[in-house]
Amino acid sequence: MKLFEYEAKELVRKYGFETPKGVLVRKGDDVRKAIESAGLATPVVVKAQVLVAGRGKAGGVKLAKTVDEAVAISEQLFRTPIKGIVPSSLLIEEAIQHDVELYAGIVIDRSERLPLILVSRYGGMDLEEIAREHPEAIIRHYVDPEKGLKDYEARFLGKQLGLSGKQLDSFISFLKVLYAIFMDYDAELAESNPLALLSDRVLPLDVRVIMDDNSLYRHPEFAATEKERLGELSEREIEAREKDLAYVELDGDVGVIGNGAGLTMTTMDLVYEYGMRPANFLDVGGGAEAEHIKEAVKFVMSDPKVKKVFINIFGGITRADEVAKGIVMALKELGSSAKPLVVRLTGTNEELGREILKEVGITPYTDPLEALEALKKM
C-alpha cells in the first residue's frame, strides 16, 4: 500500500525529524484561511496528493509566489486529472531555497534478502533515471536487520556523498529515521527524493513509503484514508477489489486472464508482441475454483472496450477442469453478450478440462503461441 506524501511526512515528524512547514487542504476547504492559519510564508509549493509517479512532470506540483496565486492554483488542481486521477487533497508547503538535491532510499533486495540503502547526489529524478544516466553515482549499502543501521554506516554513506559537519550529522539522523520507518512499518520502499541539502542540514522535500499489503493488519491507523486511497483506482478496479479479483485496468481491447502474476504479465507481453493491446491484467491466482473463474470471465467481458479475451492457464494447484467449468458457467450466464475468446489450457486435469470446453464448442490450445495466432485472426 502506498502512503500519501503527507502521511509519509507525518511519520518522519513522528520520529523527530523536520519536514518543510505546510498544511493539508481538502476539496471544499478555505485555502486562503488554511495558509494563513498555518502561518506559511510565501512562496509556497502546492502539491497534488496522488499516488502516481512523475506527478511533477504531469503538472501536479506548482510554485505559487503569493497567497492569491496559491488559491488559484489549488482551485485548478482540484479540477485537473494528474495522470487520470483528480486529487482530493493538496499539500501546501513553504518553498525551500536550495542548490543541491540528494536521493536517499531503502528497498528490499530480494536476492540478498536484506534491506538495501541507496543514496546519490543526483536527487530530483527517478531512481531508474539515475541508474540509467549516472549508474556510478548510486552508492549501495546492505544493512543487517538484526543489528540495525549503525551511526558509522550512515556516516560512511554521508561521507561518500561529500558531506561533513552539520550537514553530515543531519544526514545521519535522517537516514536512521528513514530506516526506522522502513522497518517499523513493514515497508517495501522508503525514500526521500529530493532530499534538499541546505547550509547546515538536510530537509526531505518529498517522502514516499510503500508498505507491504500483507502487513496492513498491523497498521490500522491507515484505515481512515482507505476511501481516499480507493479514489486513486478506476471504477472498474474498485469493483474488481470488491469481487476479490486481482485486476488492473489498461487501455487496450484484449481482455487477459491468467493464473499467477508472472504468467499473466508474460501473457500481456505476448499480446503486445503479436500486435494487440491488453485491456487489463487479471490474475485468478493459484487454486482458483469454478465460481471464481466464472466471476473473472464475466467481469472482463463486461468491459465495453474489450473486443476479445485470451485466457492463459498453466495448471498446477489450479485444476484445468475447474477452470473449464468456470468458463462454461460464465458463457451461459452472459449469453449473447459474451465476447469471442481463446483459451490456452494445460496442466492438472488437462484432459478433463479440454473435454468440458469442447462440449460447448471451444477447442483449447496447449501452445500459447498457437493460441495467440488464433486470437490475432479474430
Does residue 191 carry a catalytic annotation?
yes
Question: Contact at 8 Å (CB) between 12 and 207?
Answer: yes
The values of phi and psi at residue 293, to 5°, are -60, -45
Do the Cβ atoms of 320 and 350 come closer than 8 Å? Answer: yes
* C-alpha cell, 171: 544526514
**Is 282:258 a contact under the CB 8 Å cutoff?**
yes
- In the numeric block, the cell 501536479 is attached to 60
Helix 368-377 × helix 261-273 angle, to 10°:
50
- From CA 378, how far away is CA 374, in angstroms rounded? 7
Q: Which cell numbers in the block locate residue 10?
A: 507525518
Q: Is the Cβ–Cβ distance between 324 and 270 less than 8 Å?
A: no
> Which candidate in 103, 179, 185, 247 is catalytic?
103
286 φ, ψ to 5°?
A: -90, 145
Q: Tell me how many degrees the CA angle 316-320-325 measures, rounded to the nearest 5.
A: 145
Instruction: Provide DSSP, 66-109.
Output: SHHHHHHHHHHHTTS-BTTB--SEEEEEE----SEEEEEEEEEE
CB contact at 8 A, 170 and 156: no
Which of 7, 153, 191, 295 is an active site residue? 191
CA gap 140, 103 in Å, rounded: 12
> Contact at 8 Å (CB) between 309 and 300?
yes
Catalytic status, residue 247? no
| Catalytic positions, written as ranges | 103, 191
